Structure 1
Amino acid sequence: MRRLLRPFIVIAAIIILVETWLWERIGPAIRRVIAALPFAALKQAIHDGLTRLPPYATLGVFVIPVLLLIPFKLAGLSLIAHGHVILGCGVFLLAKVVGVGLEAFLFEACKPKLLQIPLFVRLYDTWNRWVIWAHGHIDPVKRRLQAYTRLVRGGRSGRAFKLLMRFRRIQRERAAQMEGAAGRA
């Protein structure tokens, strides 16, 4: 049974790690963009408003970007379903990236209030355990792939691989020359 579940476990682990990676990379980028905006008074008013909210109202603010981006994600999926795969994937991924970035930014601003909600604390701890679990499943595979890549690129195997590729290229060139000579005859 575990063998049958293995692909689903790996896919779940990859999804968790991609979400975490996006959160860690895009959140700071959104914070830098917001810091570069010239609306200091507006930014301070938003921050002050967030700090005055009670914890459950802060949770509502935290959910707003998710709700606002659902139509864009659905539009991306609709485009994919109607045959516009590249455009649909682009719209969906853009909505995903913007959503994760805004959530990361808001989470940092709202974290003290959100951690006053017992259910949120349990969910936050569960998410952190899932990230550790995902690393436990993906990191060994990642290390094996990195070792294989090093083996193919460097050392004797790397030279042998380059020599093999050179030999195949020479064979293709000779075959093309022979076809050209046969076509002229």
Structure 2
Amino acid sequence: MSGLIEVELKATVADVDHVRAELEHLAPGVDETYHDTYYDLPEETLTARDQELRVRTVTNAAGSRSLLTFKAAPVEESSGSRPEHETEVYDPAVADTVLKALGAVELISFRKLCRNHRFTADGREVLATLVEVPEIEGTYLEVETLAPTDEIDTGLSTIRTILARLGIGDADLTTETYTGAVTAARQHRA
């Protein structure tokens, strides 16, 4: 994904049935479970720079695959759109061992239950995902596309058009992270 920005907006979903039906009309969905583990350096250097390092294992009816992802700091603040660099890894346990040997520490690990819809809009490949995280309340919708740096606004416009079609307005948008929400939920239960 070198040179491309992950342009994404995330929203809370009030009318899940409506959004689910509209997404199914756009493209049949695929159910996938994500197991995400986030890492940082002991001094939380990546967090301080608003960067993320993650190993994700995606499981669906066809099997599973794992991805190592580095997300640079956002280049567009209102949406949090950022450069993302990702590669498939054969064994997530080996990736964990390598990262820890290099000095990384595990920050948090959790599951996301996702229904992914892939389609084209305005000539762009789009991924729309309905997300539930068992540890936190609510259903979320993430809509993303990839764009060169000079097309971030155009990508966001495409995403906003899709969100409007799904009945999602600006008041529904959120920049809250799953890592932050899961951390808060765990602290509240402790």
The answer, yes or no, to whether TM exceeds 0.5 is: no
Q: Which of the two has higher C-alpha Rg?
A: 1
Give the structure with the larger strand fraction: 2
In the superposition, the TM-score normalised over structure 1's length comes to 0.22
